[in-house]
Structure 1
Amino acid sequence: MRYTDIAIIGGGLAGSIAAAMLGRAGVSTVLIDPHETYPADFRVEKLSGRQQVERFLKTGIGESVLRRTTFSAENWIARFGRLLDKSPSQQFNILYDGLVSAIRDEIPDHVERIWAKAVTVTTSAERQRITLSNDETISARLVVLANGLNIGLRHQLGITRRIISTCHSISIGFDLVPTERSTFGFPALTYFSERPSDRIPYITLFPIGTRMRANLFVYRSFDDPWLRELRRAPAETLDAALPRLKRITGAFGIPGEIKIRPVDLYVNEAGGRPGIVLVGDAFSTSCPVAGTGCDKVFTDVERLCNVYIPQWLTSDGMDADKIAAFYGDPVKRSCDEWSAAKAFTFRSVSTSTSPYWTAQRWARFMAWSAQGLLRPLGGAMHLEPNFLGHSSSSSSSSSRSSSSSSSSSLSSSA
């Protein structure tokens, strides 16, 4: 049996950040994951916006990881085939497996890594016991469950899941290549839907290395025939849904595989259980359309590793009261509530035909148009729709992030 203070189950985004942070702090830590080399997975494909980047930097590993991304300093915003604004942005583009690999490189060598699956977990107010697929056993003071959408261990522990919205949105990822020219004419682009009936909030295009990557978001059921048409004839189906997109992008093709991922919004009821804490998607999911998944992961892990674990390890035991303090943390709760509210606001502003939400769509269109006209004159104000559906302004010189809707990143896997 191996003994440790912290056992992290799951070596994706949340688990790897936690291992790096705790290892750097000198905390005895074991990272458990089946994959020594993290496999390709359609999840986070960019980090974007000042707030999200600042949250990542609080983990202490953000600066070195961001150097391995493809940076976009400008994001074009368009709708109805019309370029509205060339907005300064902070977009750091990287495929999910590359992001996890970069974070794992920040984990100190003294952190033990076990490439196996956690089969069973037994928790108590004192020590926790983990049995692995390689027949090893781990004894830990605390288990950090960061295994994302995997539900086996949560079911075994009797942790119930509360569904908030089934198939709330669907994320679609693919590459774009320009036709009859070598490159696209924009650095990065967010193109908003032309009609609420299309149930498409937007498509975002951004470079990763030499590739131009596309993330398309839709509000449809997973068995919608439209998705089958997209797989069968991707370029034609996209052109029919966004017929004026090519006025901005020029002609393009869609080579290679199209990846489709539906997202359920849920929260796991884990607050009263001793010895184990859930972070990232293992605790609750977010909507990729709103681009808040990484914010939730960074906030969860930063608060847990910078604030709570150091406090918990100064006294014996790991009772439910200690764990409840993390779930009740005001910074974490504020981020979770903001993320959940933004998920439903984005869906309403994208698909609802009520007078209020129709007015919201046009208000945003006119705000971005005005911003784009003023920017060359040096008078542009950055108008950022908040999670209540209204807009707050800040000067473009002090805010370098794109609007939350124009720089959303695919939700994180934790």
Structure 2
Amino acid sequence: MRHTDIAIVGGGLAGSTAAAMLGRAGIPAILIDPHPVYRPDFRIEKLSGHQQIERFRKTGLAETILRSATHDGENWIARFGVLLDQKPSQQFGIMYDALVNAIRAEIPPATETVHAKATAIETSPERQKLALSNGSEVSARLVVLANGLNVGLRQTLGIERRIVSPCHSISLGFDMVPIGRTAFDFPALTYFSERSSDRIPYLTLFPVGTTMRANLFTYREMDDPWLRQMRRVPDETLNASLPRLRKLTGSFKITGEIKIRPADLYVSMGYRQPGIVLVGDAFATSCPVTGTGTDKVFTDVAQLCNVHIPDWLSSDGMAEDKITAFYDDQVKTECDAWSAAKAYSFRSVTIDNGLAWQAQRWARFAAGLSQGTLRRLRNRLGAKSGAPRHQARPTHGKLA
């Protein structure tokens, strides 16, 4: 029987981040995950946006981890084959397994990692007991469930998930290479859908190392013939869906395996219990189209490890009223609500054909074009005055 203050079940992004944060804070914790090295998995492939990077910084890990990512520096925004803007960007390309393994490398030696599965759990207002697949047991004051979509352990506690939008979106990941050139003209590109009938919100291209990675999103069912066409003839299918894309990319070829991942939106029920707390996808899923899943993970883990766990450990017991404080945390609830609202609004603005949604699509196009025009004007004026223009090149290990 191992004894600790915090037992973390699941060593993905949420669990590994929590283990690193608690270890750095000197709080006794054990990370439980069956894999010594996190294996390749089609999930997050970039961290992007000022807000998301700031949320990452609250974990205390961003400065170190982002050194192993590829910072593109500038993102081109386009639609209908028209370049709308060339925005300075806070995008860092990094494959999910590389991200998780880099975070695991930051877990202090004093924080033990047990390579096993949690197979059973007993909870109480005082201490929790976990049985592991290797025959050992762990006793902890608090169990953090960060095991994502694996619902077995939660179901034994009466925690159920309710699917609120099945197959809400589908993500596709693949590599792209230019034909007849050594590189694309852009550091990174976000290309928005040309027609609502194609059910594609956008394609994003961004560098990961020396590879130009593509993430394509669509609102379809998993048995849609279009997905089979993307696997069989990807270049032709993508060009048919986004016919003006080549005005920005030139001729290109899709290489390597095409990874496809559907996303259900679900929420947890019956989770307010003593001795156990759910974070990340274990609590509720987000839509990958919006890119808010990482925001939710960093917000959950930062609030839990920076605010609530130190407070909870300062007094005896781990009753339900303590746990409730995390679920009612204003920072967390606002992030959850923002993520959920964005999942539905992004889908509607992509595929709904009501007059209001059509107007919003054109308004976004006009706003992007206006912002890009103003940026180009400022750059010209800056060039005339001798001010250096932003130079964007993919870089490694540099924070903007």
Using the size of structure 2 for normalisation, the TM-score is 0.94
| 2:64 alignment partner in structure 1 | 64
| 1:181 alignment partner in structure 2 | 181
- Indicate whether 1:347 and 2:347 are aligned: yes
Following TM superposition, by how much is the alpha carbon of 1:272 offset from its aligned partner in structure 2, in angstroms?
Answer: 2.2
- Measured in 2, the distance between the counterparts of 1:43 and 1:22 equals 24
The 1:371/1:56 distance shift into structure 2, 3 A limit, reads same
| 1:34 alignment partner in structure 2 | 34
Match runs of 1:8-407 below 5 Å? 8-378=8-378
- Measured in 1, the distance between the counterparts of 2:377 and 2:232 equals 46
Following TM superposition, by how much is the alpha carbon of 1:152 offset from its aligned partner in structure 2, in angstroms?
Answer: 1.2
- Measured in 2, the distance between the counterparts of 1:199 and 1:269 equals 31
Following TM superposition, by how much is the alpha carbon of 1:177 offset from its aligned partner in structure 2, in angstroms?
Answer: 1.0
- Measured in 2, the distance between the counterparts of 1:234 and 1:379 equals 38
- Measured in 2, the distance between the counterparts of 1:348 and 1:327 equals 28
Amino acid at match of 1:205: L
| 2:396 alignment partner in structure 1 | none
- Measured in 2, the distance between the counterparts of 1:272 and 1:336 equals 16
The 1:379/1:181 distance shift into structure 2, 3 A limit, reads closer
SS in 1 for 2:68: coil
Following TM superposition, by how much is the alpha carbon of 1:78 offset from its aligned partner in structure 2, in angstroms?
Answer: 0.5
Following TM superposition, by how much is the alpha carbon of 1:164 offset from its aligned partner in structure 2, in angstroms?
Answer: 1.3
CA contact (8 A) 1:9 1:145 kept: yes
- Measured in 1, the distance between the counterparts of 2:247 and 2:150 equals 42
Gaps of 5+ in 2: 381-389, 391-400
Amino acid at match of 2:339: S
SS in 2 for 1:258: strand
Amino acid at match of 2:189: L
- Measured in 2, the distance between the counterparts of 1:231 and 1:110 equals 46
| 2:394 alignment partner in structure 1 | none
**Residues 265-274 or 125-134, more deviating:** 265-274
SS in 2 for 1:362: helix
- Measured in 2, the distance between the counterparts of 1:246 and 1:124 equals 60
Following TM superposition, by how much is the alpha carbon of 1:270 offset from its aligned partner in structure 2, in angstroms?
Answer: 4.0
- Measured in 2, the distance between the counterparts of 1:138 and 1:243 equals 57
Identity %: 67
CA contact (8 A) 1:271 1:327 kept: no
- Measured in 2, the distance between the counterparts of 1:359 and 1:147 equals 41
Using the size of structure 1 for normalisation, the TM-score is 0.91
Following TM superposition, by how much is the alpha carbon of 1:379 offset from its aligned partner in structure 2, in angstroms?
Answer: 8.3
The two structures, once aligned, show a CA RMSD in angstroms of: 1.2
Structure 1 stretches (4+) deviating beyond 3 angstroms? none
CA contact (8 A) 1:17 1:103 kept: yes
| 1:393 alignment partner in structure 2 | none
Following TM superposition, by how much is the alpha carbon of 1:208 offset from its aligned partner in structure 2, in angstroms?
Answer: 0.1
SS in 2 for 1:228: helix
Following TM superposition, by how much is the alpha carbon of 1:271 offset from its aligned partner in structure 2, in angstroms?
Answer: 3.6
- Measured in 2, the distance between the counterparts of 1:276 and 1:356 equals 44
Following TM superposition, by how much is the alpha carbon of 1:269 offset from its aligned partner in structure 2, in angstroms?
Answer: 1.7
- Measured in 1, the distance between the counterparts of 2:234 and 2:376 equals 36
CA contact (8 A) 2:271 2:278 kept: no
- Measured in 2, the distance between the counterparts of 1:279 and 1:183 equals 40
- Matched pairs, number: 381
Q: Please list the CA deviations of residues 5-42 of structure 1 after superposition, one character each: whole Å capped at 9, or x if unmatched.
A: 00000001000000010001100100000110100000
- Measured in 1, the distance between the counterparts of 2:60 and 2:272 equals 30
CA contact (8 A) 2:125 2:274 kept: yes
SS in 2 for 1:223: coil
